[in-house]
Structure formats: C-alpha cells, structure tokens
Amino acid sequence: MVMKENRPPLLSVIITTVGGYESVRTVIEHLKKQTVADRLEVIIVSPPMRLTAAGEAELKHFGNTIIMEADMDNGLSDAWVDAVNESSAPIVAFGENHAFPVPEWAEALIEAHKGPWAAVGSVIRNANTGSINSWAQLFMTYGPWTGPIESG
C-alpha cells in the first residue's frame, strides 16, 4: 500500500515489524510529532497485515507512507534492502518499534546531512532507566552511540 505523496520526502524512516501495526503504533505516534513529519516517508516492512481505518488515519500525517509485505523467515536483511530500494528520500534512517525519537530528531538528522560529514547518526538514550537489563542491552547493542557524544 502506498499513500499519497504531497512533497518529496527529505527522510525515509524504515520500520520493520513481525507483530503487525499495533507493535509500531507508539513509534508512529512519536514520528507524527516530528517537526518535519510532513516531509517524512515512513516505510513499514512486515509480514502481510491488515491496517485499520484508525491506522490509515495515523499514517496520513506523513508526506508519504509505504506498507511493504515481506517474508522475514530468513531474517531482516533482504527486507531492509528492499525497503531502502523502495525509499524515495535522499536520506534513509532505520527505526525500531521500541525507539521513540524526540520531536526534533528528524529535522536535526536532515540538517546534519548538510554538513561536511561522511556519515551522520543519532545519539541513543535509554528510556527504560529503571531496568539493569535495559542498560546492559543498551550498552551491548548501541554502546558507541550512547550519549553524550560530541559532534564532528
């Protein structure tokens, strides 16, 4: 499913899920609050899923939305490649159904790409600070990208 495109997107955000739309609803809510939500292309990659009318209404906040059906039995790599190839923005970011970006995240990422950098990324912060398991997982998986980080 592809929803209408108002203006060319500046940033494509790819989110993969095996749990259907409900499993990405919270991250969609955070993406809707982005200062440049109307310039985002949101690509949801999942096994076949049924999108409710409420889900369709939530996705209309973005410049473009693509729902891609994918066979993820052999992992996510092929699905990610297909989603990147389907994206139409000059910048692509991978989202997670448990990662909730602050409202300025997308705009800051887009602006950072205007600089002289070879690569641009985000700082990862722990939203589940009360769990030692959460901290362990954060540092094992995203250690180099946890704040504070100096730019440059």
| Mean pLDDT on 58-63 | 93
Compute the distance between CA of residue 9 and CA of residue 7 in angstroms, rounded to an integer.
6
pLDDT in tens, 63-91: 999 999 988 887 888 899 999 999 999 99
Question: CA-CA distances (angstroms) from residue 58 to 8, 27, 106, 133?
Answer: 19, 11, 18, 32
Q: Helix H segments across the chain?
A: 25-32, 53-59, 77-86, 105-112, 132-142
Q: Which comes out higher in pLDDT, residue 142 or 33?
A: 33
Cα 125 versus chain centre, distance = 15
- pLDDT above 70 coverage of the chain, percent: 94
> Mean pLDDT lowest for which of 24-33, 62-71, 125-134?
125-134
Bridge partners (DSSP) of residue 68 are 45
Task: Answer whether 19's CB lies under 8 Å from 97's CB.
Answer: yes
The confidence score (pLDDT) of residue 140 equals 87
Q: Which comes out higher in pLDDT, residue 14 or 120?
A: 14
Confidence label for 1 from pLDDT (cuts 50, 70 and 90) = low
**From-to residues of CATH 3.90.550.10 in the chain:** 11-100+110-116
- pLDDT above 90 coverage of the chain, percent: 51
Question: DSSP secondary-structure letter at 66?
Answer: E
Which residue from 115, 147, 110, 151 is spatially nearest to 10, judged by alpha carbons?
Answer: 110
Looking at domain 11-100+110-116, which of 3.30.465.10, 3.40.50.720, 3.90.550.10, 1.10.10.10 is its CATH number? 3.90.550.10
